[in-house]
Amino acid sequence: MALMKKTTFKISKMDCPSEEQMIRMKLEGIDSIEQLSFDIPQRKLTIFHTAEVDRFEQRIYDLKLEASLMETVDEEMEVPAKNQAESNQKTALWWVLIINFVFFILEMTYGWLSKSMGLVADSLDMLADSIVYGLSLMAVGAAIAKKKLVAKLSGYFQIALALFGLIEVIRRFVGFEAIPVFQTMIIISFLALIANSISLYLIQRTKSKEAHIQASMIFTSNDIVINLGVITAGILVHFTSSRYPDLVIGSIIFLIVIKGAIRILNLAK
């Protein structure tokens, strides 16, 4: 047991893994910090540290996540060592990353072949997930400059693809494009739904209450909702014989991807 200072911050804009990784990267390299504890549902960050809070307080404020210092108290704690549970978490997250990246390629390919912007947009959402998981799984000892470079390149790449997608959606709205192949939309989205359900199962199997695992569960649950949205759009395409349901769901997902990409870019600041 060691006597530590426990400082709690309220982070009003911390609501997903992107903000958690943003904070982790911002505070990386500060030797006095022994442990970070995230409570994303309550939007709280608890830091166990040995030096004064001013060693890292300004870094948190610089992220512009509407952070405020709640309290600093002295507390005895045992600094946890790496164990099998942590290894299991990393293994699960690696599988989730691989699943997301494979379906990014699958949905992007069949999205263009079937002329479905919903599938193309969903593929970019899968890519966004892969990037977030990849950043969280990068070696702890890796240089922070390298992590920031990866975040910056990934964020700009996503924004470029999403903007291209939105332009294509507009072109298809005003043009005379063929109706998407609804069968492909439904089948591929259903497979993606299964993949995300497996990912959720793998994450739940860790039985971890840690914030980054709980946040990953929320992240993957949101993906399942998006998959259901594309399936619904495919059904509407079939019954209305119109391309508009696909374009609407595609637009919504592209905007979600852009929002996520902006958060990722904040990691590079």
Class for domain 2-77, per CATH?
alpha beta
Residue 25 in 3-state DSSP? helix
| Prediction pTM value | 0.64
Q: Mean pLDDT for each 10-residue chunk of the chain (269 residues)?
A: 84 79 80 85 89 88 90 75 62 86 93 90 82 63 60 77 86 82 94 91 74 63 86 94 91 83 69
pLDDT at residue number 213: 63
Domain ranges of the chain: 2-77, 84-266
pLDDT at residue number 70: 93
> 175 is written with which tokens?
């043009």
Exposure string over 59-97, b if 16+ CB within 10 A, otherwise e: ebeebebebeeeebeeeeeeeeeeeeeeeebeebbeebb
d(CA 156, CA 128): 11
pLDDT at residue number 141: 45
